[in-house]
């Protein structure tokens, strides 16, 4: 089926990005918006816009019937979920299909299969992908849980089997901490995701976070579009992403990407997705999870490949074959780095809300800005703190770092606090410039800066 009109069931930067891709394909777009978002750019950019409820996400962007009603009223024949909100909700994807619309994403069965992390680990292992030590779902009354933790080896991580974003993840260093951690993780998982399932996984010290971008079609084809490194994080949330992953031999990265795509092709994966891996200090990869949606950091892959991933995703969902969408998978060109600019305290990372009295993104031939805000808009407490993504693409990693740092220095924002100082602290660190990235790098850089400011050498 070819889409004539697509509803974008999201807000902000991703809604703007999807509308732009739809326009490039000659497809009309429908935006939805909450009471808090009526003045955001995505509302004005779309061909049509529909108000769907209150500022609280459950009254608008998470209200399945309101979203579907907007699609029916506007005559949309497709729906793009963006990322976040309902993008990895299998029940929503099925409801879209049942309503006679094309869901622009993987089939509901894939969202369901990969949305439960222990199921996903088992599938990855069956496909031949590397998986680290871990367990299945640990029952609340399981008498063998202590023995399972001992077998994995402390420290271990207690993790929710559903959801993401670091919610409910707890490190356990000794047997005496395990029972309380399991109770706390179950409670957090139940509150955050409505599913209290938790499992154990080996804790990796100073790991890297490397992921493989894949694109499938409805005809059994799957291709990879190389790798990204998303190791620089705060509280398990990505802050800086880059492609390709630094410090990993190109042959090894490509072998992992090919292996991943071949496994997913055999399994019948059918749209966009990202396979996330941990890379330990010994250089061993292990499967972490699979995101069955467009990733926030897709722009760095687009920069090095020249492929419009959103347009490719739409064409795949419309039934086109991969051979037509990607007749030739290009070799990666140069290096791309993205910084997430967020409205938050740059030290404690607490959200900062208010009106953007000044919002002047940088410009330049090697810079790309993805944002859902404009000067005068209000940053609401109801949603994610992301203000903009700043992407630099240059022939070398060193040039990309310098370009991104200069762009962040030139980004004029007032009315809210931002994390730009923290991001620039990382970009300027010797460790980052040498490619020695890991998930604890950002707090290490901030701690070093505080010691330096205090006169401690």
Q: Say if residues 290 and 125 touch (Cβ distance below 8 Å).
A: no
Catalytic residues: 293
- Interior/surface letters 161-170, b for 16+ CB within 10 angstroms, e for the rest: bbbbeebbbb
Cα 147 from chain centre: 34
**Residues in a beta bridge with 378:** 355
Which mean pLDDT values do the consecutive 10-residue runs of the chain (457 residues) have?
94 98 98 98 98 97 98 98 96 98 98 94 94 92 92 95 82 95 92 88 94 98 98 93 97 96 97 97 94 97 98 98 93 97 91 97 96 98 97 98 98 98 97 97 90 64
Q: What is the pLDDT of residue 455?
A: 64
Cα 11 from chain centre: 15
The rounded distance, in Å, linking the Cα atoms of 43 and 172 is 45
Q: Which helix H or strand E contains 416, and what residues bound it?
A: none
Q: Say if residues 106 and 271 touch (Cβ distance below 8 Å).
A: yes
What's the predicted TM-score (pTM) here? Answer: 0.95
Domains of the chain are 5-104 (3.40.50.20), 126-202 (3.30.1490.20), 208-453 (3.30.470.20)
Query: What Cα–Cα distance (Å) separates residue 236 from each residue in 284, 403, 423, 453?
Result: 20, 26, 15, 26
Q: What is the pLDDT of residue 456?
A: 56
The rounded distance, in Å, linking the Cα atoms of 383 and 381 is 6
* The residue to which tokens 């000794």 are assigned: 174
Q: What is the pLDDT of residue 195?
A: 85
DSSP label at residue 351: B
DSSP assignment of 19-35: HHHHHHTT-EEEEEEEG
**Residues in a beta bridge with 201:** 134, 157
């Amino acid at each position: 089926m070819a889409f004539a009109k697509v509803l974008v069931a999201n807000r902000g930067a991703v809604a703007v990005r999807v509308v732009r891709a739809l326009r490039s394909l000659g497809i009309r777009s429908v935006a939805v918006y909450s009471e808090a978002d009526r003045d955001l750019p995505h509302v004005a950019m779309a061909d049509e816009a529909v108000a769907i409820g209150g500022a609280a996400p459950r009254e608008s962007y998470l209200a399945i019937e309101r979203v579907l009603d907007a699609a029916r009223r506007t005559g949309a024949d497709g729906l793009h979920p963006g990322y976040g909100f309902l993008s990895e909700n299998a029940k929503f994807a099925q409801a879209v299909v049942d309503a006679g619309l094309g869901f622009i994403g993987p089939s509901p069965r894939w969202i369901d299969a990969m949305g439960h992390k222990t199921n996903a680990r088992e599938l990855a292992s069956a496909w031949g992908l590397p998986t680290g030590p871990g367990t299945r779902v640990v029952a609340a009354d399981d008498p063998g849980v202590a023995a399972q933790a001992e077998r994995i080896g402390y420290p271990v991580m207690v993790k929710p089997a559903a959801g993401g974003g670091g919610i409910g993840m707890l490190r356990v260093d000794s047997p005496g901490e395990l029972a309380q951690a399991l109770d706390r993780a179950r409670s957090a998982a139940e509150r955050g995701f409505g599913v209290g399932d938790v499992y154990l996984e080996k804790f990796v010290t100073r790991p890297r976070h490397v992921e493989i971008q894949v694109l499938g079609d409805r005809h059994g084809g799957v291709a990879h579009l190389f790798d990204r490194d998303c190791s620089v994080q705060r509280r398990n949330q990505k802050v800086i992403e880059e492609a390709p992953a630094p410090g990993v031999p190109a042959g090894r990265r490509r072998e992992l990407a090919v292996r991943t795509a071949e496994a997913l092709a055999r399994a019948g994966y059918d749209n966009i997705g990202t396979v996330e891996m941990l890379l330990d200090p010994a250089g061993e990869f292990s499967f972490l999870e699979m995101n069955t949606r467009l990733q926030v950091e897709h722009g760095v892959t687009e920069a090095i490949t020249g492929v419009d991933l959103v347009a490719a995703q739409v064409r795949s969902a419309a039934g086109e074959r991969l051979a037509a969408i990607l007749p030739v998978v290009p070799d990666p060109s140069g290096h791309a780095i993205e910084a997430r600019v967020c409205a938050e305290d740059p030290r404690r990372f607490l959200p900062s809300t208010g009106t953007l009295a000044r919002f002047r993104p940088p410009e330049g031939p090697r810079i790309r800005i993805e944002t859902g805000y404009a000067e005068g808009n209000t940053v609401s407490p109801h949603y994610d703190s992301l203000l903009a993504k700043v992407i630099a693409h240059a022939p070398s990693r060193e040039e990309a770092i310098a370009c991104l740092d200069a762009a962040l220095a030139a980004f004029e924002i007032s009315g809210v606090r931002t994390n730009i100082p923290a991001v620039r602290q990382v970009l300027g660190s010797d460790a980052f410039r040498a490619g020695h990235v890991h998930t604890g790098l950002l707090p290490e850089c901030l701690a070093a800066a505080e010691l330096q400011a205090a006169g401690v050498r």
